[in-house]
Amino acid sequence: MDTHNHPAQLPRRKRSARLTLAMMGTSAFGLTACVEPAPDEHVTEVSFDEPRSFQSVEECVAANVYTRSACEDAHAASLESVPRFDTLEACEAEHGEGACTAPNEEQAEATGGGGSWFMPAMMGYMMGSMLSNTNRGRSIERVYQEPVYRNRQNQGNWNAAANQATQRVNQRNEAMRSSVVQNRQATTRRGLGTRSASWGS
């Protein structure tokens, strides 16, 4: 069943390096793996810049937002997390006919080369950066990334598409709406969630 072919490199770590709580509990909490904990540290502010999508390292560098090494790291990390397959058939079995490709030279190089493998065609990668201020005044900056490689993730702009759908529904219901007396304070509640039981699963 397993067709993933991870390159023989560093041992893969399966857990996050650092986790923090921002607000839960009486004292917020932060820990970094394999480093002395800082029990009183908590994040006071986190800001993200808008993630941008790039097709290649060159395009990322040209955008003049990140350094070349950040672009390369994010690209390589994105590639790391793209599923790999030993054969084209195995990849297509999971991702659909014509959806898979062998890595190009840049992609092969970014992951240290070696072996032959296949992956779902990568449409690019998303990059953004995160800046955290803690109560100790330290800032932790890191770049986060996500590969963009599946057709489903490229269905276009979610809001634009959703607006079209709701527009259609709105038109259908315009007649109903215009007949309703507009009283903005006449709010009804207790119309959802009224079966107070436990729903978690």
Partner 1 sequence: MLRVDIPERRAWKTLANELGFHFHTIDGAPYWKEDAYYQFTLEQVEQDIESPTEALHEMCMELVDKVCHSNALMQRLAIPEFMWDTIHHSWKAGQPPLYGRMDFAYSGNGPAKLLELNYDTPTSLYEAGFFQWVWLEQAIEQGLLPRQADQYNSIQERLINAMAHLGDRLEGRTLYFSCVKGSDEERATVSYLQDIALQAGLNAPFIYTDDIGLQPGARHFVDLDHQPITAIFKLYPWEEMADDTFGRQLPLLDTHWFEPPWKAILSNKGILPLLWERFEGHPNLLPAFFEDDASAPLAAGWVRKPFFSREGSNISLITPSGEQQTVGGPYTDSPWIRQAYHSLPRFGDKHALVGSWVVGDRACGMGIREDVGRITKDTSCFIPHAIV
- Among 57-65, 70-78, 110-118, 172-180, which window interacts with partner 1 (CB under 8 A)? 172-180
In contact, 129 and 67? CB cutoff 8 Å: no
In the list 10, 23, 64, 139, the residue contacting partner 1 (rule: CB under 8 A) is 23
Q: Which of residues 149-168 bind partner 1 (CB under 8 A)?
A: 150, 152-153, 155-156, 158-159, 161-162, 164-166, 168
94 to 113: interface string for partner 1, x by CB under 8 A: xx------------------
For residue 7, the 8-state DSSP code is -
Burial 69-88 (b: 16+ CB within 10 A, else e): ebbbbbbbbbbbebbbbeee
Count of C-beta atoms within a 10 Å radius of residue 160 = 8
Does 191 contact partner 1 by CB under 8 A? Answer: yes
Q: Which of 33, 39, 26, 34 is nearest to 136 (CA)?
A: 39
In the list 10, 47, 97, 141, the residue contacting partner 1 (rule: CB under 8 A) is 47
Of 58 and 144, CB closest to partner 1: 144
Does 9 contact partner 1 by CB under 8 A? Answer: no
User: How buried is 120 (Cβ within 10 angstroms: 0-12 exposed, 13-18 middle, 19+ buried)?
Assistant: buried
Total number of residues that touch partner 1 (CB under 8 A): 80
Does 139 contact partner 1 by CB under 8 A? Answer: no
Does 144 contact partner 1 by CB under 8 A? Answer: yes
Q: Scan for tokens 């529904």, then name that residue.
A: 169
In contact, 65 and 50? CB cutoff 8 Å: no
Shortest distance in whole angstroms from residue 192 CB to partner 1: 5
Q: Which of residues 56-95 bind partner 1 (CB under 8 A)?
A: 81, 83, 94-95
